[in-house]
Amino acid sequence: KQKKNEDAINEIMEDLDTNVDKQLSFEEFIMLVARLTVASHEEMHNTAPPGKGHRHGPGYGKGGSGSCSGQGSPDQGSHDQGSHGHGHGHSHGGHGHSHGGHGHSH
């Protein structure tokens, strides 16, 4: 199994090394990050619970669900309890960037 994993990794690295210099440049590395982001995002949509709107299920590996439910403590007073936003990474023309980030209000 480990040999298959090493072969798969070598194949991926060769695919990413677009200028064939046996090293990954920053731009080539960003392509890896962008591909992983897109693949993970698609997997979260595949495992999302049914419903309307933009929803996420668990991504690759171990993790929680994509629902955003806040848990406020009683001493928060009149603050908005658990309002919480997600950013999403996108790839455009070979360069990855993200919109949003994490916004929290208490």
pLDDT digit string (tens) for 66-79?
444 444 444 444 44
- What gap in Å lies between CA 26 and CA 45, rounded to an integer? 29
Residue 96's pLDDT is 46
Q: Compare 26 and 101 and report the one with higher pLDDT.
A: 26
Q: 21-25, 76-80, 100-104 — which one is most confidently predicted on average?
A: 21-25
| Contact between 79 and 97 (Cβ < 8 Å) | no
Q: What is the pTM of this model?
A: 0.43
